[in-house]
Amino acid sequence: MGLSRNDGKPSLVSPQARRAVFHHSRQVLYSALESGQAAAIGLDRGFITAIPHAGDNHRRSRNPFTDEVARALGDEGNLQKFDDEFDESDRGLRDIWEAIVYTGRRCREVVQLRLDCIGRYRGLPMLWHDQTKVGNFNEGIRIPEVLYERLDRRRDKTLQRFERRHGRRPTGQERAVIALFPTDVRNPREDHSISYAHFNRSFRAWVDTLELDGTVAHQARHTLATNLLRAGATLAHIRRYLGQVSDRMAEHYTKISNSDLEDVLHAVWVAGPGAPNPGELISGDSTPLTREQAMALALDLSRRSTPADGGFCTFQPVVQGEACPWKLDCENCDKFVLSGADLLYWRRKQEQWRSIAERAPDDATADYLHQVFEPTARAIAGLEKALAGLGLLDEALAMALRRPQDYFHRIWSTNFRAIDLADVADNSGDHNVTEEQPA
Domain boundaries, the chain: 1-58, 67-256, 270-427
Query: CA 221 from chain center: how many Å?
Result: 13
> Can you tell me the mean pLDDT for 221-237?
76
Higher pLDDT, 400 or 25: 25
Mean pLDDT confidence for 45-65:
76
Looking at per-residue confidence, does 207 or 414 come out higher?
A: 207
- Give the model's pLDDT for residue 292: 46
Q: What is the DSSP letter of 10?
A: B
Top pLDDT among 56 and 366 is at 366
> Can you give the pLDDT at residue 297?
40
pLDDT band of 294, cuts 50, 70, 90:
very low
DSSP state of 8: S
Average pLDDT across the chain, whole number: 76
How many whole angstroms separate alpha carbon 33 and alpha carbon 28?
9
- DSSP code, position 18: H
- CB–CB of 126/119 below 8 Å? yes
Q: According to the model, what pLDDT value does residue 198 have? A: 94
Q: What is the pLDDT of residues 381-400, one digit of tens each?
A: 877 777 776 667 776 776 65
Give the pLDDT score at 323.
78
State yes or no: pLDDT of 370 exceeds 70. Answer: yes
**DSSP strand E in 94-158: where?**
118-121, 124-131, 136-142
Q: Reply yes or no on whether the pLDDT at 175 is more than 90.
A: yes
Q: Which has more pLDDT, 404 or 22?
A: 22
Identify whether the C-beta of residue 420 lies closer than 8 Å to the C-beta of residue 308: no
Angle (deg, nearest 10), helices 219-230 and 247-256: 60
Q: What is the pLDDT of residues 249-261, one digit of tens each?
A: 666 665 555 433 3
More confident residue, 255 or 310: 310
Percent of the chain with pLDDT over 90: 28
DSSP state of 331: G
Q: Per-residue pLDDT for 316 more than 90?
A: no
Q: Looking at the predicted structure, is the pLDDT value of residue 431 above 60?
A: no
| Per-residue pLDDT tens over the stretch 101-156 | 999 999 999 999 999 999 998 888 999 999 877 777 888 888 999 999 999 999 99
What is the average pLDDT across 269-295? 52
pLDDT category of residue 303 using cuts at 50, 70 and 90:
very low
Over 60: is that where the pLDDT of 282 sits? no
Helices (H) and strands (E) in the chain, counts: 19, 9
Q: What CATH class does 67-256 carry?
A: mainly alpha
- pLDDT tens by residue, 265-279: 333 455 655 566 665
Query: For residues 244 and 125, which has the higher predicted lDDT (pLDDT)?
Result: 125
User: For the chain, what is the largest distance between any 2 Cα atoms, rounded to a whole number of angstroms?
Assistant: 95
Q: What is the mean pLDDT of residues 290-311?
A: 53
**What ranges in 178-230 are assigned the alpha helix state H?**
196-209, 219-230
Alpha-carbon span 228 to 235, nearest angstrom: 9
For the segment 318-329, the average pLDDT, to the nearest whole number, is 75
Helix/strand/coil percentages in the chain, nearest 5: 50, 10, 40
According to the model, what pLDDT value does residue 329 have? 78
Query: What pLDDT score does 246 carry?
Result: 62
Confidence of residue 368 (pLDDT cuts 50, 70, 90): confident
Q: Given pLDDT bands bounded at 50, 70 and 90, which one contains residue 284? A: very low
Q: Is the pTM of this model over 0.85?
A: no
Q: How many CB atoms lie within 10 A of CB 113?
A: 25
At position 108, the amino acid (one-letter code) is: R
The CA distances from residue 374 to 279, 338, 350, 369, 425, in Å, are 11, 16, 10, 9, 12
pLDDT, position 296: 42
Distance CA 233, CA 225 (A): 9
Q: Where is mean pLDDT largest: 5-14, 188-197, 289-298, 402-411? A: 188-197
pLDDT of residue 17 exceeding 60, the answer is yes
Spatial neighbors of 185 by CB under 8 A, at least 6 apart, are none
The residue-averaged pLDDT of 348-369 equals 85
DSSP string computed for 42-88? T--HHHHHTPPP-----PPPPPPPPHHHHHHHH-HHHHHHHHHHH-T
The reported pLDDT for the residue numbered 305 is 67
Q: What was the pLDDT predicted at 404?
A: 46
